[in-house]
Amino acid sequence: MIELLAIFGRFALRVLRSFGHSAFFFFDLLRHSPAALRRFSLVVTQIHAIGNLSLLIIVASGTAVGFVLALQLYYALIVYGAAESLGLIVNLSLVRELGPVVAALLFAGRAGTSLTAEIGLMKAGEQLAAMELMAIDPKSRVLAPRFLGGIVAMPILAILFSTVGILGAYIVAVKMIGIDAGNFWSIMQARVDVWRDVGNGIVKSAVFGVICTAVALYQGYETEATPEGVANATTRTVVIASLSVLAMDFILTALMFSTP
Amino acid sequence: MNKRGIEALVGLFVVLGLLGLLFLAMRAANLTTIGNHASYTVRAKFDNIGGLKARAPVRSAGVVVGRVTSITLDPKTYQGVVTMNIDQGFEFPADSSAKILTSGLLGDQYLGIEPGGSDKNLAPGDTIKQTQSAVVLENLIGQFLFNKAAEAGTEGAGAKK
């Protein structure tokens, strides 16, 4: 009985400790970020690695999501003779929810894993320890530029995801199905607000960028310095980043869009 | 890849992002309809504004001429005060009337302006005097039922005699 309680207590303590540990890590990252801004070329290299190289998968999935949304919504909306508001629904769902969330999930899979694996291997190869020996702080030289790069890249990727999604829906709805192009755009323009919908979507994606990159960096930095350790850390990055993005999305949606 | 190439690619990436943002703001949302032309403010008081919301369009003869900016309650008369911005290009006679209308049977409510015949035009800050409140479906149904009951009552009274 006591043994059972002890297992439970150990588990709770471990969870609490990891929370505290990751919070300290996060504030350390924030503290080192201004230093990385001064060496901006490092950040630019990371934006390339994180952002540019994720472009293909983001654009491809965005177009596919736009295609499928348009096709499915058409079948449902034509029943009520409201097929023309298809553009509006596609736009709102992409800009408010799907753009930031799906882009963040893809980002965690595409860029987050590579960050974790890279830093995990650096740690396994004792490169980080070597840097510390040379009096270079690996947090400001290695982690902070990647952190900033992720924060810059994520909103841009989400914007592009929504943009190509809407264009994809336009192709299916107007070019293939034959919905009137004027109505497609004008209903959208009448009901979508720049600050409320587009602006909040961008705020969301920036928050997701912070979450995904911070989780990936933390998992990489705290990995066990073995091949299995790096493998586990990479898996955990995807799981934890995706779940936190989904949870955070619910909270942000409740805060941003609770009033109609 | 050399450093310059990477910088150029990142520049391209950021420019693409800005273009996407521009597309979302101008083409897929309503940035074109606000802010870029001058407008003047007019107010109107209604006994009942129904489901009118801020940012609802103001139309005259079906053409959008402005937008509702805010809706408040007058604490003295208990009337709804609707403030709207009308584009500078459209001027209406001072005795124009305002109505709250619905687009289609179940559509959104908007504010309709019917021009009057006065020589003077509405000036910025003016209040539209003649207004017609929103039609509230519940009141309408209530009135209909009441009339029906009254009719039945008089018929019943007639039969007794």
Nearest CA distance, B17 vs chain A (angstrom): 5
Nearest CA distance, B97 vs chain A (angstrom): 25
Nearest CA in chain B to A41: B7
pLDDT at residue B159 is higher than 60: no
Query: Confidence class of residue B65 from pLDDT cuts 50, 70 and 90?
Result: confident
Residues of A within 8 A of B30 (CB-CB) are 189-190, 192-194
> CB B28 to CB A47 under 8 A?
no
Q: In the numeric block, which tokens belong to residue B138?
A: 């519940």
What global pTM score does this model have? 0.77
3-state class of B40 per DSSP?
strand
CB proximity B10 to A under 8 Å = yes
Neighbouring-strand partners of residue B85: B41, B67
Estimate to the nearest angstrom the gap between the alpha carbon of A72 and the chain centroid: 26
pLDDT score of B157: 67
What ipTM is given for this predicted complex? 0.84
Q: Taking residues A223-229, report their average pLDDT.
A: 90
Nearest CA distance, B10 vs chain A (angstrom): 6
Query: Confidence class of residue B17 from pLDDT cuts 50, 70 and 90?
Result: very high
> CB A44 to CB B30 under 8 A?
no
Residues of B within 8 A of A169 (CB-CB) are none
Neighbouring-strand partners of residue B109: B102
Query: Confidence class of residue B37 from pLDDT cuts 50, 70 and 90?
Result: low
CB proximity B152 to A under 8 Å = no
For chain B, what are the domain ranges? 1-33, 37-142
Residue A3: its H or E element: helix A2-38
Residues of B within 8 A of A189 (CB-CB) are 27-30, 32-33
φ, ψ of residue B97 to 5 degrees: the values are -115, 150
C-beta separation of A72 from B5 below 8 A: no
Most B CBs within 10 Å: which of A39, A42, A46, A48, as the mutation test of the B interface?
A: A48
Q: Taking residues A198-205, report their average pLDDT.
A: 93
Q: Taking residues A97-102, report their average pLDDT.
A: 95
